[in-house]
Amino acid sequence: MAPIIPHAEIREKYFFTDILPTPWCPGCGNGSMGHALLQAIHRIGWDPKKIVLISGIGCNGYLTRYLRFDDLHALHGRTPAMATGLKMARPDLKVIAIQGDGDAAAIGGNHLIHAARRNIGITTIISNNYTYGRTGGQYGPTTPKGGISTTSPYGLEEPPFDLCNLMVASGANFVARGTAYHVLQLIDLFERALTHPGFTFIEVITQCPTSYGRKNPGKGMSGPEMLLWQKKNAVPVEKAAGMTEESLRGKIVTGIFIDRNRPEYNTEYEKIRQRAQKGTGREERN
């Protein structure tokens, strides 16, 4: 495993330090997620000028504002659409989409599943804190059944999406889940996702002590307590394969869900474009 780069080095190289601190609450998990991403980018050694971050709506969306990369801030749920357009126009760029669970799986669920289905070469990172943190803690598409929120004060009746399984079924080439607690594993997962061809997806379980932790899962949990909750409840995907649905209730299945090599969309599209340019493609198919 490659070494971790000192925090100060990451900060000086990748952050606009003059506008720090971020607006995140004390104990928020978005900082750990962002740090792990930067460690992975640093380890890979990409030129920052060749990376574009596209953020969505939600607390995690603040991240890109503080980083020394070109970035776009998308409308609600439209991050995959903007990332798709950019990747098609500039396939040479590394396009990284960063979204929250509500933004990605509710408002923009349609865009997300179709980006995965096309298998276009972007990496999507979801900060899943089980709630709409920024708007006050309403329930979202990943809030666990029974979860308490400002819009489900008696407990949520809806079952949650399993985002990783959704992405596997949709066609993504690489799908994995980590947590804000397991930072070393998260850096490795980011590195693998960023360097894998096709649509790659990382779900990060992040703690939101302000909007989710004070009501769930142990009521009034601080950020550090929620991190320990992640530690206690994480189950490697290989072990989870042998467990019952009942015994997995409340657990966080972590690791790599799929690692495959479906053809990448841009590469295939370029072949069609070249056939069309020569005027031969239609005749060949007819």
Binding site for ligand SF4 (CB under 6 A): 24-25, 28, 30, 59, 129, 133-134, 208-211
Closer residue to ligand SF4 in complex, CB, 28/86: 28
Closer residue to ligand SF4 in complex, CB, 134/196: 134
Closer residue to ligand SF4 in complex, CB, 26/236: 26
Contacts of 94 (CB under 8 A, 6+ apart): 46, 50, 51, 52, 123, 194
Using an 8 Å Cβ cutoff, are 147 and 166 in contact?
no
Q: Which residues are registered as beta bridge partners of 179?
A: 205
Q: How far apart are CA 206 and CA 226, in angstroms?
A: 9
Q: Which of 258, 203, 204, 200 is nearest to 83 (CA)?
A: 200
Q: How far is the CB of 31 from ligand SF4 (least distance, A)?
A: 9
* 213 SS3 class: helix
Closer residue to ligand SF4 in complex, CB, 28/186: 28
Q: How far is the CB of 157 from ligand SF4 (least distance, A)?
A: 24
Q: How far apart are CA 128 and CA 112, in angstroms?
A: 15
Closer residue to ligand SF4 in complex, CB, 198/213: 213
**Vertex 135 angle, CA 141 and 83, to 5°:** 65
Q: How far is the CB of 25 from ligand SF4 (least distance, A)?
A: 3
Closer residue to ligand SF4 in complex, CB, 28/163: 28
Q: How far is the CB of 56 from ligand SF4 (least distance, A)?
A: 13
Q: How far is the CB of 59 from ligand SF4 (least distance, A)?
A: 3
What does the DSSP 8-state code read for residue 79?
A: H
Residue 40: other Cβ atoms inside 10 A: 23
Q: Which of 259, 106, 105, 77 is nearest to 176 (CA)?
A: 259
Q: How far is the CB of 211 from ligand SF4 (least distance, A)?
A: 5
- Across the chain, where does the E strand assignment appear? 51-55, 70-73, 94-100, 123-128, 174-179, 200-205, 234-236, 252-259
Q: How far is the CB of 15 from ligand SF4 (least distance, A)?
A: 17
Using an 8 Å Cβ cutoff, are 200 and 174 in contact?
yes
Closer residue to ligand SF4 in complex, CB, 132/161: 132
